Amino acid sequence: MAIAGDFFRTTFLVEVAGVQTQQKMDWKLDSIDGADTISTVLGDIASQWWDTVKNIVVNQCMFSCMTYHNWSRVEQVVVFPGLAGLGGTEGHPQFQVVRLNIYGQATVGPDFSIRRGASNLSGVKEDLSTRGRINDLSEFDAWQNFHIGSIFTSLTGWTITPQQRFETAPGPPPTYDFVPVVATQVNPTFKTLRRRKTSICAAM
């Protein structure tokens, strides 16, 4: 069972017209605020994340499952939200993505290096862009803001904070550390991914 201070990863697996895509987020468990089960907590995280994107992705997008992996102890869970996008039928294909640049930085020294990551969103409505350029970046504010700052899963759930995971030594085996996310930025133009391949939810 997770305890305060643990680091964990959630992976959001979304099918875009039958092609599976994924986004990953790392978190620090700041506090356990009540008696919610881990399945309830993860269901709340999944719902809160989907609420930030459901209106900007098309109905061919299905949020099929979310995996949870605790980096601090042996613990893995899968939940199956089964939620569909609400943004109509005309969308970009899964390999044309909106990219969110993510920046992490330690709050105390001695190392204040910026640690950079990214998240890619597929299945975005076509009418949000013109010739590959986003018309109004504020359409992505909710998704962007979800990646920075603490959230409460519920009054009886967890308080968690987004983290940037980075390699501290190549190993083998490699070692990693975490820093809080301090800034995010939506790329104003769509990116094309040459290949986007993920494993199915059951293959943990």
94-140: per-residue pLDDT in tens?
Answer: 889 999 999 999 988 888 999 999 999 999 999 999 999 999 999 99
pLDDT band at 1 (very low <50, low <70, confident <90, very high): confident
In this structure, what token pair is assigned to residue 42? 């993860």
Length of the chain in terms of residues written: 204
- Dist. CA 136–CA 148, nearest whole Å: 20
pTM of the model: 0.92
Closest by CA position to 118, among listed 161, 147, 95, 85: 147
Residue 199 reports pLDDT greater than 80: no
Interstrand relation of 76-79 and 96-104 (parallel, antiparallel or unpaired) = unpaired
- Dist. CA 1–CA 21, nearest whole Å: 28
